[in-house]
Amino acid sequence: MKGGDTNYQPLVNKIVVAVAKKAVAIAKDAGATTGQEDWAKEALRNPRGAADQIVSYVVANAPAAAAIPDITGATDIEIQDAVDAAVDNLLSK
């Protein structure tokens, strides 16, 4: 599901933007942990790399009944919510 697969490219592009937004939110958070700050800095340096790391998480956490077109056609808000949840979950480990 990497960027070369044109069926998923719009989804990946949305995830890249959502990752950048999440990284900015963490960077502005005075209560962010060192781990969160480190992730945010790296995500801002390379949002595509950070997005590639969580694409599978976002897809895997889609509703069980969701078909591929439902997932790839998700709204910006749905993608942002999924990315926020993914990042929060991954950084809480």
- Global pTM reads 0.86
- Among 83, 54, 86, 71, residue whose Cα is nearest residue 8: 71
The whole-number average pLDDT for the span 58-78 is 83
3-state SS of the chain: helix, strand, coil percent to 5?
Answer: 70, 0, 30
Least reliable range by pLDDT among 17-31, 33-47, 56-70, 73-87: 56-70
Domain residue spans of the chain: 9-91
pLDDT score for 72: 84
Residue 43's CB: how many other CB atoms inside 10 A? 25
For 3, counting Cβ atoms within 10 Å of its Cβ (0-12 exposed, 13-18 middle, 19+ buried), the class is: middle
List of E strands, the chain: none
Report d(CA 91, CA 87) in Å as an integer: 6
